């Protein structure tokens, strides 16, 4: 990986290339999704879950902190690329994948000037995240994946049928009050057409 100097760091240039990294690379997509798009959507959903946790459920949590960490949750993929789900979550590979992501995170952080490194470590390094924030971000990640799968099915892409079932099963398995509130309040609107959304149906 390129080394940094005091005045020229490639850190943010690496992050800017997340828009070139396609997700769901082993499957045919009706509409392609890149890691930058996914990161933004996860950040928005994580912020929503944190607002629900704080303002509806009365939990002491900072939605802005959650959103910032969610925005960086896949930052290491600027170097590793998007690892397919069967690789990331098979029991034999999970430990190796986590070690790789940790090492890449450290390499990327070393590209930063020392003065700003702690703030970015807090955002990027999953080990730095409070448990409650990490839980909300993981829930947001699953919700974003499920919404992507549902969209592909609406476009007539049966390639995503099994993925939809698997992701929804994970959501149900790890159901929380925040996720239930989000789905009950906002979930059905994702199925609407633009005309229906504009008419407020």
pLDDT of residue 95: 76
Which residues lie closer than 8 Å to 92 by C-beta, 6 or more apart? Answer: none
pLDDT of residue 138: 98
pLDDT of residue 96: 80
pLDDT single digits (tens) 60-95: 999 999 999 999 999 999 999 987 766 666 677 777
Output phi, psi for 19, to 5 deg: -70, -15
pLDDT single digits (tens) 116-165: 999 999 999 999 999 999 999 999 999 999 999 999 999 999 999 999 99
pLDDT single digits (tens) 31-54: 999 999 999 999 999 999 999 999
pLDDT of residue 89: 63
Kindly write down the DSSP assignment for every residue of 51-88, as one continuous string. HIIIIIS-----HHHHHHHHHTTTTTHHHH----HHHH
Which residues lie closer than 8 Å to 24 by C-beta, 6 or more apart? Answer: 33, 82, 148
Q: CA distances (Å), 132 to each of 7, 62, 65, 129, in order?
A: 36, 10, 11, 8
pLDDT of residue 92: 72
pLDDT of residue 7: 67
Measured CA to CA, the distance from residue 92 to residue 86 in angstroms comes to 10
Q: CA distances (Å), 10 to each of 13, 54, 109, 123, in order?
A: 5, 36, 11, 18
pLDDT of residue 91: 73
Once rounded to an integer, what is the mean pLDDT over residues 174-201? 93
2 has pLDDT over 90:
no
Measured CA to CA, the distance from residue 128 to residue 123 in angstroms comes to 8
In the numeric block, which tokens belong to residue 194?
């633009």
Stated length of the chain:
201
Give the CA dihedral 175, 71, 100, 20, nearest 10 degrees: 120
**What domains lie within the chain, and their CATH numbers?**
11-198 (1.10.3210.10)
Once rounded to an integer, what is the mean pLDDT over residues 154-180? 97
Angle among Cα 118, 95, 168 to the nearest 5 degrees reads 95
pLDDT single digits (tens) 11-31: 999 999 999 999 999 999 999
1 has pLDDT over 70:
no
């Amino acid at each position: 990986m390129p080394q940094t100097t005091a005045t020229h760091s490639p850190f943010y240039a690496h992050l800017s290339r997340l828009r070139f990294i396609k997700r769901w690379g082993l499957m045919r997509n009706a509409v392609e999704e890149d890691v930058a798009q996914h990161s933004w959507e996860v950040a928005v959903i994580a912020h929503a879950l944190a607002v629900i946790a704080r303002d509806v459920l009365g939990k002491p949590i900072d939605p802005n902190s959650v959103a910032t960490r969610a925005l960086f949750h896949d930052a290491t993929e600027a170097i590793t690329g998007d690892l397919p789900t069967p690789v990331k979550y098979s029991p034999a590979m999970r430990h190796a994948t986590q070690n790789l992501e940790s090492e890449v995170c450290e390499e990327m952080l070393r590209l930063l000037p020392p003065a700003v490194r702690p703030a970015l470590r807090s955002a990027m390094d999953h080990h730095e995240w409070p448990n409650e924030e990490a839980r909300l971000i993981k829930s947001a990640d699953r919700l974003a994946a499920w919404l992507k799968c549902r969209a592909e099915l609406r476009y007539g892409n049966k390639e995503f049928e099994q993925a939809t079932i698997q992701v929804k099963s994970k959501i149900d398995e790890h159901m929380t009050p925040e996720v239930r509130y989000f789905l009950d309040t906002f979930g059905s609107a994702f199925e609407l057409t633009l005309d229906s959304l504009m008419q407020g149906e």
